Amino acid sequence: MSVFSRQLASRASLAAAAVFLASCAKEAALPTTPSPATTSVGSNAVAVNGVMMQGFYWNVPTTTSAGTWWQNLGSKAAELKAGGITAMWLPPAYKGGSASDVGYGVYDRYDLGEFNQKGTVATRYGTLAQLQSCVTALHGQGIQVYEDMVMNHLTWADAQENVNGNNVYTKFTFPGRGTTYSSYKWAYGNFTGTQQAPNNGWYQWKSWDFQPYANGDAYDNLLGSEIQYNGNTANANETISWGNWITTKLGLDGYRLDATKHIYTPFVNQWLDAVKGSSGRFAVSEAWFANLTDLKNYASATGGRTSLFDVPLHYTFKAMSDGNGAWDMRGLQFAGFTEANPSLSVSFVDNHDTDTPGALYSPVSNLKQLAYAYILTRANGYPCVFYRDWYEYGLGSQIKTLIAIRKANGYGSAFEYTSVNDADYYAYSRAGDSTHKGLMLVLNDGSSARTKGITSPFKNATLTDKTGNYAGTITTDANGYGNFPVKGRSWSVWVPN
């Protein structure tokens, strides 16, 4: 989810009347025993040279040729496995304010398309049974499943309350679900403030969980009714109980935590310790810091408990895209969080926020395949590919080829050719290991073909561009020196035959 509340509110279609908070239930009831879970794939939720897919985008269709979105994803499980996808990030699977809500305007986190609430049983993506079938299909192909966890706020309250003389929508009673899975109810005492509608700003009755930090780029009030975690043990325990419940209910292999820079950081750590713990499940957080220092500081504040999306690297790709040939390709050298903290970085090119029409974060619209070649051949980072790039923007075949190269050749020590690279030409190699031959990546954002002499790790070798972008072979001498060509505005991955 985007980090700007006004934009988010419009995306989640948070209407004026029924959006916000609710009262403080004194005790949190543990969920009732859920139905049998779909078995997770395994204890280690990151495969060797694994590739994650974000399996949705903003406003995915409610009906596809395969049925609902859950049915659509499930039907693609076999082809995704064949294409090299090892994990799937699902959208928020719980009930929002209507049948069209994309899930970030979350109303009831225990309703996975099972109860008649907000005018619908199904969520935008389908019913609980269809969701479980989707997870089963993905697991059946060895694809791990990560769920999108929205813990910052609730929206679309069931009733108003009077708070210090102001009528606000803050009461959540979940009449369609009742006490199934949890008897916890929410009211204004559970929140620090709420977003007034329409366009009346925020009404606050408690201190925000934290004051702005990172030069004001991280702050509490994002969207809807802001859940209080600092000093509210009941809220914390309930959200932890929910995390454990949905993990079991769906047989999850990991989590994508939404908008964590807006959530009280000690609670994020508490939740990760209590839900993810030492299970081997994976977690990545959306802490949307464009500044690398801020992202590194957040990694320190969360103590390495969660991976983080490499937002600074996305902006590097955007700069390359916006330059459209004029950007200096040496900016790719040692770039982003992926190089600063390799073990915690999830690299990506675009996502549901950057791709959204009118988004504050514009997409990587030019030279996008160069960016994918970069993240999919790199030694560091856990790459995430975007469903829309794969299926709707025509990049699927090329991405699959790069994933195949990653799985066959993406091994061994890495090297940046700082003395070779220039404003248009970028080269990077993996030396390979005892059973894998390695690779030489070459990118060119210029309009003309380029060739450069490079001392590679491959001695007395004949190499082929495994992407098929450049025909023929090249040879290296006893020192590994050879001439490595690449077409204009293109990419090549040269591998020893």
Q: Which residues are catalytic?
A: 258, 286
Q: Are 256 and 306 in contact (CB under 8 A)?
A: no
Question: Computed over its alpha carbons, how large is the radius of gyration of the chain?
Answer: 24
Q: How far is CA 274 from CA 37, 44, 123, 210, 461, in A?
A: 19, 18, 28, 22, 52
Neighbours of 63 (CB within 10 A): 10
DSSP labels, 87-144: EEEEPP-SB-SSTT--SSS-SBTT-SS-S-BTTBSSBTTB-HHHHHHHHHHHHHTT-E
What is the C-alpha to C-alpha distance for residues 226 and 262, in angstroms, rounded to an integer? Answer: 9
Cross-strand pairs, 239: none
The region that residue 495 occupies, defined by phi over 0 for left and psi between -120 and 50 for alpha, beta otherwise, is beta
In what helix (H) or strand (E) does residue 493 lie, and over which residues does it extend? Answer: strand 490-496
**Dihedral angle, C-alpha 342, 345, 351, 352, nearest 10 °:** 180
What is the C-alpha to C-alpha distance for residues 282 and 45, in angstroms, rounded to an integer? Answer: 5
Closest CA to 57 of 402, 374, 393: 393
Closest CA to 128 of 149, 108, 107, 112: 112
